[in-house]
Amino acid sequence: MTINGELLIGARAVRGTSGEIRAINADSGETMEPSFGGATLEDLDAACALADAAFDTYRETSPELRATFLETIAANIMAIGDELVERAMAETGLPRGRIEGERGRTCGQLKLFAGVVRAGRYLDVRIDPAQPDRQPAPRPDLRLRNIALGPVAVFGASNFPLAFSVAGGDTASALAAGCPVVAKAHSAHPGTSELVGRAVQKAVADCGLPEGVFSLLFDSGRSIGQGLVADRRIKAAGFTGSRGGGTALMKIAQDRPEPIPVYAEMSSINPVILFPGALVAKAEATAKAFVGSLTLGAGQFCTNPGLVLGIEGDDLDTFIGTAAAALGDMPAATMLTPGIAKAYRTGVEAIGAHDAVETVARGKPGHNCQGQAGLFVTTAADFLAHHELQDEIFGAASLVVRCPDLATIADVVDHLEGQLTAAIHIVEGDYPEARKLIPHLERKVGRILVNGFGTGVEVAHAMVHGGPYPSTADGRSTSVGSLAINRFLRPVSYQDLPDDLLPDALKQANPLGIERLVDGER
């Protein structure tokens, strides 16, 4: 497949004329071919108009057709072959195994949503049959189903060029819900974005769907992303990136005459809590596993373990010493973009220079596009006194907080901002204290895990990849797993409609054969 640097507006591929974007080879810093034309406001308008025009047809497609469409996207992505893997590796600096794994996850995610659409449970059909003889007043016939929200804006994430990008989780869940998607490519991987965008565009044609079901725009600045969220035809947005970017888009969405939800996944430092029994039993093994998680993908995961809480003493010192030794051996790793590498350096320099923080280890140094891992230590009192120590440093840096006791650990947790994950490391003897801490964690995070680390999110029905603000804009939702579809749905109730006028999901004969709640019973 050729990468032409073109926008995909419905069925067309056109050259954008508002500035240009160049991919940068993440490792060498060299500019890559071709150049990508930035979309104009007219291009944006055309994409949104097509999405709006496609909406009513697309949202009422049969479950089978929509599921086949999602599976066709996955097949078309695989059909691109190695060109996609190599382009993504060059644009992101991520290794082959990671990109291939991410491609598998992306296709698996699309297929998971195909299953969700076929099963039809996401429609949450509820039927309360009429009770004309009820006293003192008759009950009307009430039937509820979820419908798609409308066209959705999807912002590709820099750190997952496939699984959180053009055909990533936000796109898969929006399309599954019945929402057309206008994707805004991340300029860190425009070639990868175009290749995947063409695979989606082809799937739209393969399945005979209206062309406006999918468009892909490049933005040489910020105006297209902002205009997209402001456009009256867009009814929700999905985003993964910085807190600054996410909150800017949330503000635009709130200031619209009709505000819309922005599902932004932003910063998180993902506390890891080392319980006393676990430290006695396995401080060294836990420290080595921790460094593995911390340095995975140059630390460029929003689930990265950026904060460790433990009770001061010899066992915590063993953990710190082992982690410091392992981290000291870590080679520098190429980061996604020169900008992200620079932001990481700035963040690490700031924490290293902080009066309340001791630098206990740095990884091996590298060149300008690479990140050098870092491990830092502070006390609970200092952590609580300096809110800036909670700031996410996007990369392989983590801060260990020495706490005098478990009550202080709970206090530190209570003072944290909302997080995506918390990991507790325990042995059986720690269960009574762990039981006490879990309610504190539940108030702060979207996922609690035991004896592991949050990196590497499983795409599954019971997954929550979300959390209270600012880890996400809306802690009631997830961006990974089948529950992600709910972000792009809203319930509609139909009162006393004749069967002929009801959508198939609600008809008396249940022609879709889906599970329904009738009079409160499954």
Ligand X SMILES: NC(=O)C1=CN([C@@H]2O[C@H](COP(=O)(O)OP(=O)(O)OC[C@H]3O[C@@H](n4cnc5c(N)ncnc54)[C@H](O)[C@@H]3O)[C@@H](O)[C@H]2O)C=CC1
> What residues make contact with ligand AKG under the rule CB under 6 A?
157, 159-160, 164, 240, 301-303, 455-457, 465
92 close to 336: Cβ distance less than 8 angstroms:
yes
Q: Is 307 in the site for ligand X (CB under 6 A)?
A: no
- Nearer of residues 213 and 485 to ligand AKG, judged by Cβ: 485
User: What gap in Å lies between CA 127 and CA 21, rounded to an integer?
Assistant: 52
Specify which residues 14 forms β-bridges with: 7
Restricted to residues 118-177, the positions that interact with ligand X (CB under 6 A) are 155, 157-159
Residue 253 tokens read as: 């969405």
Q: Can residue 444 be called a binding residue for ligand X (CB under 6 A)? A: no
**Which of ligand AKG, ligand X, none does 93 bind, CB closer than 5 to 8 A by kind?**
none
Is residue 349 part of the annotated active site? The answer reads: no
Tokens found for residue 293: 């998680």
Specify the residue, 324 or 341, whose C-beta has the smaller distance to ligand X. Answer: 341
Cβ–Cβ < 8 Å for 170, 481: no
Query: Which one of the spans 102-110, 202-210, 218-226, 448-456 is the region binding ligand X (CB under 6 A)?
Result: 218-226
Among positions 177-196, residues that touch ligand X (CB under 6 A) are: 184, 186
The span from the CA of 503 to the CA of 514, in Å, is: 13
Show the binding pattern over residues 267-306: x = contacts ligand X (CB under 6 A), - = does not.
Answer: xx---------------------------------x----
CA distance 39 to 139: 53
Contacts of 430 (CB under 8 A, 6+ apart): 275, 276, 277, 278
Closest to ligand X by CB, 240 vs 293, is 240
Contacted by 226, from ligand AKG, ligand X, none: CB < 5 to 8 Å by type: ligand X
Contact track, ligand X, 239-268, x by CB under 6 A:
-xxx--x--xx---------------xxxx
Burial class from Cβ neighbours inside 10 Å (0-12, 13-18, 19+) for residue 53 reads middle
Per partner kind, with CB cut-offs from 5 to 8 A, the member of ligand X, ligand AKG, none near residue 164 is: ligand AKG
With both helix axes pointing from N to C terminus, report the angle between 190-206 and 63-80 in degrees, rounded to the nearest 10: 140
Bond prior to 136 in cis (omega within 30° of 0)? yes
Instruction: Specify whether the CB–CB gap between 138 and 169 falls below 8 A.
Output: no
First-to-last alpha carbon distance for the chain, in angstroms, is 48
302 catalytic? Reply is yes
Please tell me which residue in 302, 392, 403, 433 is annotated as part of the active site.
Answer: 302
Catalytic-labelled residue, pool 265, 392, 417, 433? 265
**Chain positions contacting ligand X, by CB under 6 A:** 155, 157-159, 184, 186, 219, 222, 225-226, 240-242, 245, 248-249, 265-268, 302, 340, 343, 394
* Residue numbers annotated as active site: 265, 302
